[in-house]
């Protein structure tokens, strides 16, 4: 049984209260029911994308925007209310993020939020822009019609964690991408490997 925990964002505009959602799977970057993972590129550099039908907006990790010097604009001051009571603050927005995935360009408005496990979360605001579409979670595909042709994006099957190599850790350190590091040792003190989130 999959349990999805909701993270809600609230901001008020005059007397209107808008409700946004970022699900726990999206915040931690884990795949679950209603989520599909795939790769894309920004300026030719590979990023990890999580399509999450439970998240209302598109979210990009701020380190990605800063690393590529994307045009960051101030966002309306609103916070993300986390299920445990903590608040995350939206750190800005990028109005025209161009992402290439599987031979197709996506043009997105993204909010900057420190998510883990994925660089970019695509939510229902992006899904709503494409009109009718079919999400097949058993095959991990998204099909939609764009520019007089059908487009199919193929998700990736979840993979087990693999040991990280030194160059992986070095790159993650240089881009401030390390959320957690774990070392696994045997009973005899022999080093086995390192996994990261």
Percentage of residues of the chain with pLDDT beyond 90 = 26
Percent of the chain exceeding pLDDT 70 equals: 66
The C-alpha atoms of residue 54 and residue 49 are separated, in whole angstroms, by 15
Q: What is the DSSP letter of 83?
A: T
Taking 50 as the threshold, does the pLDDT of residue 21 lie above it? Answer: no
Nearest to residue 36, comparing CAs of 161, 156, 160, 159? 156
The CATH number of 6-159 is 2.40.70.10
Selected residue with higher pLDDT from 165 and 49: 49
Q: How far apart are CA 94 and CA 97, in angstroms?
A: 6
What is the spatial distance between Cα 63 and Cα 167, in angstroms, rounded to a whole number? 19
Q: Would the pLDDT of 41 be above 80?
A: yes
Backbone angles phi, psi at 98, to 5 degrees: -105, 120
Per-residue pLDDT band for 102 (boundaries 50, 70, 90) equals very high
Domain ranges of the chain: 6-159, 161-197
CB-based contact 50:118 (threshold 8 Å): yes
Query: Which of 27-31, 56-60, 186-190 is the most confident on average?
Result: 56-60
Instruction: Provide the whole-model pTM.
Output: 0.68
**Which residue in this structure is represented by tokens 């209302």?**
56
* Rounded average pLDDT over 164-187: 72
What pLDDT is stored for residue 81 in this prediction?
Answer: 56
Buried b (16+ CB within 10 A) or exposed e, 106-135: bebebbbbebebbbbbbbbbbbeeeeeeeb
CA 117-135-161 angle, to 5 degrees, is 25
């Amino acid at each position: 049984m999959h349990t999805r925990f909701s993270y809600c964002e609230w901001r008020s505009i005059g007397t209107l209260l808008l409700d946004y959602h970022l699900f726990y799977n999206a915040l931690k970057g884990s795949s679950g029911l209603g989520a599909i993972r795939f790769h894309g590129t920004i300026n030719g550099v590979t990023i990890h994308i999580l399509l999450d039908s439970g998240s209302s907006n598109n979210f990009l990790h701020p380190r990605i925007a800063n690393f590529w010097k994307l045009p960051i604009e101030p966002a309306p001051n609103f916070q993300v209310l986390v299920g445990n009571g903590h608040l995350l603050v939206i750190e800005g927005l990028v109005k025209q993020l161009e992402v290439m995935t599987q031979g197709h360009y996506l043009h997105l408005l993204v909010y900057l939020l420190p998510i883990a496990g994925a660089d970019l979360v695509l939510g229902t605001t992006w899904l709503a822009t494409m009109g009718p579409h079919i999400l097949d979670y058993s095959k991990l595909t998204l099909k939609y019609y764009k520019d007089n042709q059908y487009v199919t994006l193929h998700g990736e099957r979840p993979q087990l964690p693999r040991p990280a190599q030194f160059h992986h850790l070095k790159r993650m350190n240089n881009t401030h991408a390390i959320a957690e590091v774990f070392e696994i040792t045997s009973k005899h003190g022999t080093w086995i490997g390192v996994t990261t989130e």
